[in-house]
Amino acid sequence: MQSITLTVNGKSYTRDVEPRMLLVDFIRNALGLTGTNIACDTSQCGACTIHMDGMAVKSCTVLAVQADGADITTIEGLATNGHLHPMQQAFWDQHGLQCGYCTPGMIMAAAKLVENNPGITEAEIRHGLEGNLCRCTGYQNIVKAVAQAAAAGS
Amino acid sequence: MYPPKFDYYRANSIDEAFALMGQLGDAKLLAGGHSLIPALKLRLAAPSALIDIGRIGELKGISRNGSTATIGALTTHATVAAASDLPAALTEAAGWIGDPQVRNRGTVGGNIAHADPASDLPTVLTALGATMNMRGLNGARSVSADDFFIDLFMTALGEDEILTSVDVPVDGAGTAYAKLFNPASRYAIVGVAAKVSVSGGQCTSARVALGGLTPSAVRAPSVEAALVGKALTADNIAAAAAQVGGDLDDVMGDIHASEEYRRAMAPIYVQRAVSKAAERAG
Ligand SMILES: Cc1cc2nc3c(=O)[nH]c(=O)nc-3n(C[C@H](O)[C@H](O)[C@H](O)COP(=O)(O)OP(=O)(O)OC[C@H]3O[C@@H](n4cnc5c(N)ncnc54)[C@H](O)[C@@H]3O)c2cc1C
Ligand code: FES
Ligand code: FES
């Protein structure tokens, strides 16, 4: 067992973990934050995307011990004071989801993608979301949602 | 999926990493973890311990000394992709690795130490004539990219050595990378990197490297010889690219692409890489 201390959605946690525990399992099982999903578990689909020290990463491909000292945001930490993050609002407005399984990861990846890039093009959005797979929507409404949030300066 | 059990140690300096390596038997270095963690989950690797070098500051970042850029082993693909003064072949290849999340964690050193035949950086660094710098308990040494990549997942790096940095010549030649993507993982099914210099309308030097095709990245001497001394017109480039079969002994076939398909794609991607490099050579 190894003791780690990290900040998740603004709150500090100290826990003992097995070195082999994946960060996504730590977030879901040790902290009970089940908004972050596991889908492929093979680093391909992006359902497990979170922000670690300001960068979008796949939490199924990071060990919890590697995140010792890190500042993490999960989908639960994106809304502020009861107001949806512009990217969450845009997915709602544009109906950027069907089953919703890919959505937390999609929103976390997209939020970083449009940061400081209000004029992002459709091609850049599609290229920037290559690490996130959706089996339902066909991506059209996801791309529209990301463009809306970018224009809103999210 | 859970990786097998291992002990975990974090090294905060290169010296600490060597001390741990000396002390632990069957340990593996952990950099960005984006090749090693998937391999652990699939139980393709089961080291008794991991030595996390991911936070060693002295192994991070890009510096410039005259016409050589030195890239620290722990520099991420995202950092390389965003760099403004590296050869175009390298920044474009780094920007096409996997996806943004992979590029935020994966490192240059991990990519070339792992030497996956479908990786992009071994191919690009071979074409650019890069030099790999490594340190072991018995001191430091450097190996050219031509001699570094030996075989499938096999490099000149010793078990007790750490790759510390890569030196890349920045000399104004035109460089480019052309890649046939695996549609799922984004790894290269075929990757070709080219570096050409042009003077008086003629190609004065050419380095072309092939990846994804053979067990490790290789040069394409037949293509290079067919380019040097010629004007880099579309016809001459196509004729040189057609020579690539002569540079390919042992072409891989797997579930992603057959040997025949890879062989058929090779000249097309050679042509694309050389044409773009020629445009950039001005
Ligand atoms: C979904 C996905 C898509 C990908 N797509 C691509 C792609 O398109 N193109 C591509 O090129 N790569 C791709 N990769 C691989 C990615 O680039 C990896 O990050 C890289 O190959 C390994 O770097 P790392 O820092 O993650 O190394 P790690 O996984 O930490 O280590 C890999 C190996 O190298 C050793 N090692 C690491 N650093 C050093 C060092 N400094 N000295 C000595 N040994 C060291 C480790 O011990 C280990 O054996 C992809 C990966 C994923 C998960
Ligand atoms: S669950 Fe992490 S990438 Fe699919
Ligand atoms: S909405 Fe179902 S996977 Fe994307």
CB B8 within 8 A of CB B50: yes
Residue-range domain boundaries for chain B: 7-52, 57-169, 174-280
Q: Which residue of A has its CA nearest to B50?
A: A19
Q: How many CB atoms lie within 10 A of CB A115?
A: 15
Which one of A44, A57, A128 has the shortest CB-CB distance to B184?
A44
Rg (Cα) of chain A, in Å, rounded? 15
Q: Which residue of A has its CA nearest to B5?
A: A20
CATH 1.10.150.120 fits A86-151, yes or no: yes
What ipTM is given for this predicted complex? 0.97
- Tell me how far apart the alpha carbons of residues A93 and A85 are, in angstroms, rounded to a whole number: 12
Is the Cβ pair A41, B102 closer than 8 Å? no
Q: Report whether residue A60 contacts ligand 2, using a CB cutoff of 6 Å.
A: yes
Shortest Cα distance, chain B CAs vs residue A55, angstroms: 7
CB B87 within 8 A of CB B101: no
- Alpha helix positions (H), chain B: 14-23, 36-41, 77-82, 88-95, 100-105, 108-114, 121-128, 145-148, 221-227, 234-241, 259-281
Residue-range domain boundaries for chain A: 2-77, 86-151
**Looking at domain B174-280, which of 3.30.390.50, 3.30.70.20, 3.20.20.70, 3.40.50.700 is its CATH number?**
3.30.390.50
- Class for the domain spanning B7-52: alpha beta
Beta carbons within 8 Å of B242's beta carbon, 6+ residues apart? B267
- Each residue's pLDDT, cut to its tens digit, for chain B (282 residues) gives 789 999 999 999 999 999 999 999 899 999 999 999 999 999 999 999 999 999 999 999 999 999 999 999 999 999 999 999 999 999 999 999 999 999 999 999 999 999 999 999 999 999 999 999 999 988 999 999 999 999 999 999 999 999 999 999 999 999 999 999 998 889 999 999 999 999 999 999 999 999 999 999 999 999 999 999 999 999 999 999 999 999 999 999 999 999 999 999 999 999 999 999 999 997
Which chain B residues are Cβ-neighbours of A113 within 8 angstroms?
100
CB A50 within 8 A of CB A73: yes
CB contact B4 to A (< 8 Å): yes
Q: Report whether residue A40 contacts ligand 3, using a CB cutoff of 6 Å.
A: no
Ligand closest in space to the Cα of A46: 2
Q: Which helix (H) or strand (E) is A110 found in, with range?
A: helix A103-114
Measure A136 CA to ligand 3 centroid, in angstroms: 4
- Tell me how far apart the alpha carbons of residues B180 and B213 are, in angstroms, rounded to a whole number: 11
The answer to whether the A2-77 and A86-151 domains have the same CATH topology is no
Output the pTM of the full model. Answer: 0.97
- Class for the domain spanning B57-169: alpha beta
Residue B193: DSSP 8-state: E
- Class for the domain spanning A2-77: alpha beta
Measure A111 CA to ligand 3 centroid, in angstroms: 17
Which chain A residues are Cβ-neighbours of B52 within 8 angstroms?
65-66
Helix (H), strand (E) counts: chain B: 11, 14
User: Judging by DSSP bridges, how do beta strands A55-58 and A49-52 pair with one another?
Assistant: antiparallel
Return the SS3 of A33: coil
Measure A1 CA to ligand 1 centroid, in angstroms: 26
Which one of A2, A42, A57 has the shortest CB-CB distance to B101?
A57
Q: Which residue of B has its CA nearest to A133?
A: B184
